[in-house]
Structure 1
Amino acid sequence: MKKITLIAFVLFIGLVKSQAQVKVSPGLRGGLNVSTLTNIDDNRSKTDFYIGGLVNIKFNKYFSLQPELTYSRQGDEGREYFGNGYNYRYVNYELNYLTVGAVAKFNIGGKGFHILGGPSLDFKIDDNYINSSPENFDLAIVGGVGYTLPNGLTFEARIKQGLIDIYGYDGINNDDNYYYNDVILNQVFQIGISYTFKVK
């Protein structure tokens, strides 16, 4: 009985110490979006920005979990035809989201360089589409690399891949009598910085 009590006590002390090592730091993030939509002919990437907040939960020097709330301006540049139908110009098609996500960050060797990955649930705030109505939400997967300085400043590059067909095109075009089922997904390359505040 004494041995069981001793083992339980040692495990309890170890648990308390491990919990005491957890550090929670709020922060801000922002940067550049280079976004596009897949499977659309003759479209181009659109450049815009993202900005938001984060909470970095550092369990040890190797691993942390980072919930994030971000305003992300996405979309693409598409052709708009006018006149006789042969003239066109490129216009910005906007898909603006409020994204709720969390990334797991793995620090290589416990140092500043890290890899990251995690899910993102995106709620559409607005868009400027006239002839179509994109879905009101998207589910995405995020992956990337980064480097954190000792002062809490982090530089990151990420790829965000949408998983939901934002138009839901799947059917038959009665005018031309052909089937179409191209999946149109959000795709975003992000490069930016973040800063976590030290909390005593």
Structure 2
Amino acid sequence: MKKLLLVAMMAFGLAVNAQETSFGITGGFSNMTVKASANGISASQGASGFYVGFFADIKVSEKFNIQPELAYTASFKNDNSTNVITMPILAKYYVAENFSILAGPMLDLIVDETGDEFNSFGLGLAAGAGYDFTDNLFATARYSFGLTNRVENAVVSTKVDYFQIGLGYRF
């Protein structure tokens, strides 16, 4: 948790020093998929929900921005829920006037009690696209591939992926 907060403070510290920085809120649909594999056999289970958070949009050049975010994500399956804090730090490149591609690392921290063998902190690689409807309103879609093995058992590999699609508003 301390590592996540330190990285968040550093990312938003960069935003304060940038010349053209805007801030905003974002939210939408989220799907979390847990994938487990062992001995050539794999299984996955998904849970859908929502995410809501805030971001900084740091203009680096005419076509390139950095967009760190901090969001709360909730996923639901049957009577169970999973609560996660996600922090993507995305490079945003405008390939056209209003259309951008996004890529970068995504940190996540499962805040629910997970048990001793489960690693609640994870690192993923996110990629996606965004479209600016106006200077303030935009849509984004992205997928984050989990890179961190969440089970501290050498036999089983368990990773968490996220798909998110939503809207954002810049102030």
**Alignment TM-score > 0.5, same fold:** yes
Q: Does 1:24 align with 2:25?
A: no
Give, in whole Å, the separation in 2 of the partners of 1:57 and 1:160: 21
Give, in whole Å, the separation in 1 of the partners of 2:116 and 2:81: 12
Q: When the two structures are superposed, what TM-score results if normalisation uses the length of structure 1? A: 0.66
Secondary structure at the aligned position of 1:167 is classed as coil
Structure 1 unaligned spans of 5+: 1-20, 78-90, 171-180
Give, in whole Å, the separation in 2 of the partners of 1:42 and 1:141: 21
Q: When the two structures are superposed, what TM-score results if normalisation uses the length of structure 2? A: 0.77
Identity of aligned residues (%): 29
Matched residue, 2:130? 146
Secondary structure at the aligned position of 2:150 is classed as coil
**Mapping of residues 8-47 of structure 1, within 5 Å:** 22-39=19-36, 43-47=44-48
Query: Aligned pairs, how many?
Result: 150
Give, in whole Å, the separation in 2 of the partners of 1:161 and 1:96: 18
In structure 1, which of residues 132, 139, 156 is the aligned counterpart of residue 140 of structure 2? Answer: 156
User: Residue 43 of structure 1: CA displacement?
Assistant: 4.9
**Mapping of residues 27-106 of structure 1, within 5 Å:** 27-39=24-36, 43-74=44-75, 77=77, 91=78, 93-106=80-93
User: Residue 133 of structure 1: CA displacement?
Assistant: 4.9
Larger Rg: 1
RMSD of aligned alpha carbons: 2.4
Contact 2:82 2:112 in 1 (8 A): yes
Residues 1:159 and 1:146: Cα distance change in structure 2 (over 3 Å): same
User: Residue 192 of structure 1: CA displacement?
Assistant: 0.5
Q: Does 1:120 align with 2:94?
A: no
Matched residue, 1:189? 163
Give, in whole Å, the separation in 1 of the partners of 2:169 and 2:117: 36
Secondary structure at the aligned position of 1:30 is classed as strand
Give, in whole Å, the separation in 1 of the partners of 2:153 and 2:48: 25
Contact 1:46 1:92 in 2 (8 A): no
Task: In structure 2, give the amino acid aligned to 1:162.
Answer: G
Give, in whole Å, the separation in 2 of the partners of 1:95 and 1:42: 19
Give, in whole Å, the separation in 2 of the partners of 1:92 and 1:155: 30
Q: Compare the two structures and name the one with the higher strand fraction.
A: 2
Secondary structure at the aligned position of 2:149 is classed as coil
Residues 1:57 and 1:31: Cα distance change in structure 2 (over 3 Å): same
